[in-house]
């Protein structure tokens, strides 16, 4: 796998904001959910939840003045997001083709803050299941992004050293998580919620849209000194 003096052991993709145009869907659903239940949405609520695991964001929502257990809140919000996705998840233009092209040369993993149920839905309905050797939800690790746990677990399941992997991320907390795991990072800045300058500075390469991801971009990111 890979080439030159900086072989790429694996490429690990984020899901929301990289493969599907969903960050704003999550935001809209959670804001409406809190409002309908008489809660208060804080100015930094959106930024705080980006990258959180299901357990983390559902617990956070209870602090906004709504009733219910985190488990119930999570189940209801996930059902609402799944209903918004419908039969056709909002795939970003060129995402499927980019993944398939890179999968022809490198082992792929997925490291997502989405719950397992939505990861499976997207993989099935996008036709991308065969492209990914592993998929990890932050539900399955101790901490969500910006902690590196989900990326480290993806590398472990892939049997690849994290330092020999390249991650593809769109958000501040995602960029921080992948970098903290020791991976080279390619940034695809989220159009709805652009990453902070300090997080974007962690990227070894940046492309404007997912369709611009290529094997050459991945390998160039891996070759940059860290």
**Tokens 């300058």 correspond to what residue?**
197
Tell me whether residue 44 is one of the annotated catalytic residues. Answer: no
CA torsion sign, 191 to 210 to 32 to 44? negative
Out of 14, 21, 149, 170, the active site residue is: 14
Burial 141-151 (b: 16+ CB within 10 A, else e): bebbbbbbbbb
**Tokens 């746990």 correspond to what residue?**
149
Alpha-helical regions (H) of 161-212: 172-180, 197-200
CA 73 vs. chain centroid, Å, equals 21
Tell me whether residue 14 is one of the annotated catalytic residues. Answer: yes
Active site residues: 14, 16
């Amino acid at each position: 796998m890979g080439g030159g003096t900086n072989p790429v052991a694996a490429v690990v993709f984020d899901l929301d904001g990289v493969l599907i145009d969903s960050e704003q869907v999550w935001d809209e659903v959670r804001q409406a959910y809190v409002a309908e239940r008489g809660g208060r949405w804080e100015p930094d609520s959106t930024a705080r939840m980006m990258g959180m695991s299901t357990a983390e964001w559902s617990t956070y929502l209870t602090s906004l003045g709504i009733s219910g257990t985190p488990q119930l809140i999570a189940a209801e919000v996930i059902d609402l997001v799944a209903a918004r996705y419908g039969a056709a998840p909002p795939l970003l233009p060129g995402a499927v083709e980019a993944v398939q092209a890179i999968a022809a040369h490198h082992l792929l993993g997925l490291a997502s803050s989405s719950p397992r149920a939505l990861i499976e839905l997207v993989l099935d309905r996008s036709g991308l299941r065969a492209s990914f050797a592993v998929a990890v939800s932050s539900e399955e690790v101790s901490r969500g992004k910006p902690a590196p746990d989900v990326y480290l677990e993806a590398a472990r399941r892939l049997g690849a050293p994290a330092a020999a992997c390249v991650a593809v991320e769109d958000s501040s907390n995602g960029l921080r998580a992948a970098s903290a795991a020791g991976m080279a990072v390619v940034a695809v800045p989220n159009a709805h919620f652009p990453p902070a300058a300090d997080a974007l500075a962690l990227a070894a390469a940046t492309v404007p849209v997912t369709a611009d991801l290529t094997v050459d971009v991945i390998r160039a990111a891996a070759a940059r000194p860290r």
